[in-house]
Amino acid sequence: MRIAVIALGKIGLPLAAQFADSGHEVVGVDVNSQTVDLINRGIEPFPGEAFLQEKLSKLVPAGRLRATTNYADAIPKADVVVIVVPLFVNDATWEPDFAWMDAATKSLAEHLTPGTLVSYETTLPVGTTRGRWKPMLEAGSGLVEGQDFHLVFSPERVLTGRVFEDLRKYPKLIGGLSEEGTRLGREFYEAVLQFDDRPDLSRPNGVWDLGTAEASEMAKLAETTYRDVNIGLANQFGVFAADNGIDVYQVIEACNSQPFSHIHRPGIAVGGHCIPVYPRLYLSTDPDADIVRTARLMNASMPDRLVKQAEAVLGSLEGQRAVVLGAAYRGGVKETAFSGVFPTVDALRSRGAVVSVHDPLYSDDELQALGFEPYELGGDVDVAILQTDHAMYRELSPAQLPGIKMLVDGRNATNASQWAGTPRIVVGVASSPDTPIA
């Protein structure tokens, strides 16, 4: 097959490599000419994705994978077009911002040729494939969906850093607009993906047809919104437990010892491209989902809550030297999408603290480009807030943060024995008598 992949980001490029590695000819389209140039030189444009460089080094010289900025070069005569363009959400209104996806879809439509299967993998509000992309593709191409081309929705279900592993591990969900489109979608993904044996599943691992595009759209929103709601519940439990002298982690461990409970862990922030965003996409079509809204607001409030607790202990943060440990949204991943570092820094600055940021994955120049003053371990500090659970922070000690008056561990990642004698707030755990929580 000749396959075009639109948007060569941290999901799109590994997908393109997976398709090419399965024996197909792949052309990727991206608006970033620097990204395109690096790919065509066989160099991964972003670090940290397991096996990606190895695959690029093999596939690009072999002519199986190339990149372009030109839709006219990639789309005509493609058997399949897969779209992984980002969809953003307006922070103020919580409404989806389709600008980038609309632009990509219009460019795709302009060059779409008969016989093509189009698959959207970007997570979407329910009804978008049928109600937005189908008419837009038909209007721009002059072709008829279900007759001249076919359209399916098949959400990506992978995490950056382990895309190739996740592609094998999880069933590939699809939902078409027609019986023929569904058949073509199933055959396509069966030809480009390989699946691990999963005896724990109710049916064999592989391509799962959910019947409609709407069901497939909802499945992705539901599985990610579940996580946000679960974390919101864990945070609610954590706040109550800390106020009442209870260790919420012991409670959660006890609850999860039987199969009917699967409570997640509380934490200072929920970050990444998915969990903070997709509940808002769901709310855009189900505004009555009060449980979803309440959980999202609870999770968004956690950085300010923990900074407020530190302020209550120290009396004031005005002029205090504060360092946020971790810019990445999760440990071991060099990505700041919706990271808790931003609201944490804002909360500290709003209270007059002098804020710097440390992250072992980012250079000083990269931190400055994000708007942060870099911090190096060993520099004087009054209060530190652990925002990212990087492995190196697990054995962090006061000696590495000279002058520290308080540690706020937003991930329960540090070793309590290392912090004896130093006030330490842990999300979800009651503080010692000398570190009261407001």
Q: How many CB atoms lie within 10 A of CB 92?
A: 6
Bridge-partner residues for 151, per DSSP?
118
Q: Sort strands 406-409 and 321-325 into parallel, antiparallel or unpaired.
A: unpaired
- Which single residue is written with the structure tokens 């371990």? 377
255 carries an active-site annotation: no
Enter the tokens of residue 314.
């120290």
Ranges of H-type helices in 142-289: 163-169, 179-192, 213-243, 248-255, 278-285
How far, in Å, CA of 253 to CA of 166, rounded?
26
Residue type at 41 in one-letter notation: R
Phi, psi at residue 223, to the nearest 5°? -70, -30
- 8, 67 in Cβ contact below 8 A? yes
Q: Of 220, 255, 308, 405, which one is the catalytic site residue?
A: 220
Nearest to 208 by CA among 226, 227, 185, 224: 185
Annotation marks residue 55 as catalytic: no
Point out which residues pair with 28 in neighbouring strands.
5, 67
The partner residues of 26 in beta bridges, in order of sequence, read: 3, 65
Give the C-alpha separation, 373 to 171, whole Å: 43
**CB neighbours of 301 closer than 8 A, spacing ≥ 6?**
none
Give the residue from 277, 293, 302, 265 showing the smallest Cα distance to 387. Answer: 302
Q: Show Cβ contacts of residue 378 under 8 Å, excluding neighbours closer than 6 positions.
A: 400, 402
Tokens of 94: 């919580």
Residues 6 or more apart whose CB falls under 8 angstroms from that of 34 comprise 45
- Indicate which residue of 10, 134, 172, 274 is catalytic: 274
Comparing CA positions, the residue from 285, 289, 291, 303 lying closest to residue 218 is 285
| Helices of type H across 60-196 | 71-74, 99-111, 128, 134-141, 163-169, 179-192
- Residue whose pair of structure tokens reads 């992309």 in the numeric block: 133
Q: Which residues are catalytic?
A: 220, 274
